[in-house]
Structure 1
Amino acid sequence: MEKIRIAVRKFDPFETTLQKLWDTFCLENKISIEAEMIPLELHDLYEEALAKKGLKNGDWDIAHINTDWIFDAVNSNAIENLSPLISQNPPQNFPEGWHKSLLHLQEINNQVYGLPFHDGPECLIYRKDLFENETEQINFKNQYGYDLQPPKTWQQFTDIAAFFNRPEQNLYGCVFANFPDGHNMVFDFCLHLWTRGGSLLDKNNQININQPSAVKALDFYRNIVNNKKTTHPKSKDFGSVEAGMAFATGEAAMAINWFGFASMCEIIDESKVKGKVDITELPHNENHKSASLNVYWLYTIGSGSKHKKIAYNFLRFATTAESDKLLTNEGGIGCRKSTWNDTEVNKTIPYYHKLSMLHENALTLPQTPLWPKVAALIDIMVLEAINGNLSSATLLEETQNNIQKIL
């Protein structure tokens, strides 16, 4: 019996949403073909879909691809160009239904290679109940000499993390995701670099991380990750999902993570902080501005798929306003403006409308097919920084030399 095979990013809300969408799609279109959905961790998903050429040779009909990998996927002819299909039969309200920052990374040489699936830029997630508590405000001001409010600078972030660090209450000042998966620590490094006025690219548009602002970024990051007076002790074992869960179960006052983990606090049964959370933009150094990182997930069709017509019709169905809202209600992050501004959604998740603010500051990673290899080197560098003794300057120089070899 014929099957459509879908490579799914492993995360309960994605899995439940996709199953519901497929069942409804089949009912509405009187289709009896079965979908085999395989949930995969980040690294395995990349391996299956791209490294082992699964999308190209027809092993997978549809796959969740994140925008870090899209250049790689297009260059290796792994995914279908959707532009001809879009021009014949566009998705609902395309492209106006989405913020421009969710449409440009999958558009390469004026051709579209994926439709937005799940989003939510990096932000500062914090416990507003702690920040708004009068006793906490008085104690903080007595101790630090300024008012307690969401931190605008990294120094304030450190002060506040130290203030709320109470291991005896299983409450820590902040939590990070330091599990080396080629993503979280790379993203953190980029955010710390950008909020100190640095850039991943030099004046010739080449990747160059060996710069003074990168030394400051890496110094700060390795110090705070290892600071027992500010940071959740399990951060080194946490991926972004585990760090998000630790925040949702009330173990941290602040987190720098994807917006989706803030919304999760209002939705999942395990959450102990419903109604106690808010988000804002990331801190920055004096004289520099905040930044966010925009990496999002796409629905893509394998170039080797034998079911391209059904696959595309399903993608159109899975990205309607109704489907986008369903994903949000299940615990993912919808990508459409209609979801961001939806009254019901904002009733459940009061900061949902702030997504458009985050997108205004959202930067993206360099678009090069070599980015996954560069990211792997940065990941190793940050891991060595937080676990070893080599100076940040030495680590940056060595890593840049290794990046040059790839470039």
Structure 2
Amino acid sequence: MVKKKGILSIVSLLLVSSLFLSGCSGEKTGSSEAKGDNKTITLLVEGGSPAFKVAKETAAEFKEETGYTVKIESVPYTGVYDKLKAEVASQAGAFDVATIDILWFPALAGGLLPLEDLMTDDLKNDLFPGLVEGGSYQNKVYGMPVWTNAKNLIYRKDLFEDEKNKADFQAKYGYELHPPTTWDEYSDVAKFFTKDTDNDGKVDMYGTTVFGANNGDAVASWLDHAAQAGAKPLVVGDKGKVLVNTKPYVDSLQFLVDLLKKDQSVPSGALEMASAETSELFWNGKLAMMLAWGHFYVPSNDSKQSKVAGKVGSAPMIGGGAGIGAVPGPWYQVIPSSSKKQEIAKEYLNFIYEKNELFMKTLGVAARKSVFERYSTQQGYEHLRPLMTTLSGPQTQNRPAIKEWQEIESEALIPAVQFALSGEKTPQEALDWAADVIKDLLPPQ
């Protein structure tokens, strides 16, 4: 969940770890599909990722059904983008299918095959809001979704159900202790659980964390709250209007600053924290709550990975004045337009779509609502029902599909979050600065 987004900056800690591993390279295929003299398709995936595992698991069945061998070329996360970017430029026909991050569509769409003919009404109706849009660029669909995800509230169920905690919280705040649903409740609960549990004079349990690390995880986390405060669309509006220094963005950044500076209910090293550091603290029993990618619930209940296994609950993302909102982190399969085997590549996309539950088994999330529904009643998948609520939230929305996004994130938004959390600038000052940077990065209107 960058340059690793959402799950991607942290899945090395999860059951589907080892995203940086690179595997053997598949051979390039350049012969004509019509001639049938090379019944191989080449798939580009991130090494060690769920896409890699599902591709390996299903390759034999696809060959049995179609006669085509699936050659898997696996590379590190950034290598997928680099290789596809080179393919778009060279049109070499090296890859027939690739699995990509939502963030890359604006830069790669010019070299991808439109997939409108695959996107039937039945297929679209089985996907969460925004998932088709996330795989589109300039009103053309280029991506078949394989999984989606968003941040949920993951919390220490044992702490929330403790009778003494319940009585003490009621006495202090005047309402019943429960998994928070609003900013105010979240702040109260975070303060309540920040304490010195062993009476040595030092805080050893924090209510939650704030993401301030030098990566896109910090931006996505802050934008979750901006969406909750009413931001829509995110960061850049119609005709390139820069929105980032308006009230929802300022209020949401102030909310994070207050958790760190005013309430002191998060560890002081916020500028070094994102998903990986947060999950490690939570799994080691040092946090009462975390706003983390939905599938983090799975390792949180694994005794091999977590000291609090069996004591963890999941709830929907908290809401602000505009309701529940989050920035999803979906991935998609695409077909480079340079592929010389486009028809069999389309068959492969449909084949993998029908196998969507394998991503649920591998990662703990999938793309299809029907898969979420089926698994949500099974033990170990208790995070799915809350995640469905978050993914369908009124303010849940994708980042803007603009070519300048990665520059905007790295040159304007990440520094702005750090300026505010460090105290170097107020949230308004930080975002005014970011707005000026973004205006320089966008093309003239």
Q: TM-score range by the shorter chain?
A: 0.7 to 0.9
Quick check: 2:275–2:292 contact (8 Å CA) kept in 1? yes
Q: Which moved more, 1:170-179 or 1:135-144?
A: 170-179
Distance in 1 (CA, whole Å) between partners of 2:185 and 2:126 is 38
Q: Does 1:164 align with 2:189?
A: no
Q: 1:80 to 1:282 in 2, by over 3 A?
A: same
Partner of residue 347, structure 2: 313
Q: 1:55 to 1:349 in 2, by over 3 A?
A: farther
Quick check: 1:121–1:293 contact (8 Å CA) kept in 2? yes
Per-residue displacement from partner, 1:195-226 (whole Å, max 9, x unpaired)? 22344356766232122332222222234346
Secondary structure in structure 2 of the residue aligned to 1:116 = strand
Which one-letter code corresponds to 1:185 in the other structure? A
Per-residue displacement from partner, 1:154-192 (whole Å, max 9, x unpaired)? 2322221222235667643113443322x2121122222
State the Cα distance separating 1:71 from its structure 2 match: 2.7
State the Cα distance separating 1:11 from its structure 2 match: 5.7
Which one-letter code corresponds to 1:330 in the other structure? T
Which one-letter code corresponds to 2:380 in the other structure? T
Partner of residue 214, structure 1: 249
State the Cα distance separating 1:342 from its structure 2 match: 1.0
Q: 1:262 to 1:51 in 2, by over 3 A?
A: farther
Aligned length: 395
Q: 1:359 to 1:94 in 2, by over 3 A?
A: same
Partner of residue 2, structure 1: 27
Distance in 1 (CA, whole Å) between partners of 2:257 and 2:81 is 28
Q: Does 1:327 align with 2:364?
A: no
Q: Does 1:396 align with 2:421?
A: no
Partner of residue 218, structure 2: 185
Q: Does 1:385 align with 2:420?
A: yes
Quick check: 2:102–2:329 contact (8 Å CA) kept in 1? yes
Q: 1:400 to 1:314 in 2, by over 3 A?
A: same
Partner of residue 257, structure 1: 292
Secondary structure in structure 2 of the residue aligned to 1:342 = helix
Quick check: 2:212–2:273 contact (8 Å CA) kept in 1? yes
Partner of residue 111, structure 1: 140
Q: 1:101 to 1:197 in 2, by over 3 A?
A: closer
Q: Which moved more, 1:344-353 or 1:326-335?
A: 344-353
Per-residue displacement from partner, 1:245-300 (whole Å, max 9, x unpaired)? 54344442211122222244346841344443333333344x54232223311111
State the Cα distance separating 1:114 from its structure 2 match: 0.8
Secondary structure in structure 2 of the residue aligned to 1:279 = strand
Secondary structure in structure 2 of the residue aligned to 1:175 = coil
Distance in 1 (CA, whole Å) between partners of 2:90 and 2:115 is 15
RMSD of aligned Cα (Å): 3.3
Partner of residue 104, structure 2: 69
State the Cα distance separating 1:33 from its structure 2 match: 4.8
Q: Which moved more, 1:209-218 or 1:259-268?
A: 259-268
Which one-letter code corresponds to 1:159 in the other structure? D
Distance in 2 (CA, whole Å) between partners of 1:383 and 1:60 is 39
Per-residue displacement from partner, 1:125-160 (whole Å, max 9, x unpaired)? 222222122121112223333321122332322221
Quick check: 1:232–1:252 contact (8 Å CA) kept in 2? no
Partner of residue 94, structure 1: 123
Q: Which is bigger in relative contact order (C-alpha 8 A, separation at least 6)?
A: 1
Q: 1:14 to 1:175 in 2, by over 3 A?
A: farther
Q: Does 1:127 align with 2:156?
A: yes
Q: Which runs of 5+ in 2 are unaligned?
A: 1-25, 29-40, 199-203
TM-score (norm 1): 0.83
Distance in 1 (CA, whole Å) between partners of 2:217 and 2:397 is 16
Which one-letter code corresponds to 2:346 in the other structure? Y
Distance in 2 (CA, whole Å) between partners of 1:401 and 1:186 is 17
Q: Does 1:20 align with 2:20?
A: no
Distance in 1 (CA, whole Å) between partners of 2:196 and 2:96 is 48
Quick check: 1:175–1:247 contact (8 Å CA) kept in 2? no
TM-score (norm 2): 0.77
Quick check: 2:225–2:326 contact (8 Å CA) kept in 1? no
Distance in 1 (CA, whole Å) between partners of 2:61 and 2:280 is 30
Secondary structure in structure 1 of the residue aligned to 2:130 = helix
Query: Which aligned pairs between 1:227-266 and structure 2 lie closer than 5 A?
Result: 229-232=264-267, 235-266=270-301
Partner of residue 403, structure 2: 369
Distance in 2 (CA, whole Å) between partners of 1:55 and 1:164 is 56
State the Cα distance separating 1:398 from its structure 2 match: 1.5
Q: 1:367 to 1:36 in 2, by over 3 A?
A: closer
Which one-letter code corresponds to 1:350 in the other structure? E
Partner of residue 349, structure 1: 381
Quick check: 2:317–2:390 contact (8 Å CA) kept in 1? no
State the Cα distance separating 1:69 from its structure 2 match: 2.6
State the Cα distance separating 1:388 from its structure 2 match: 4.9
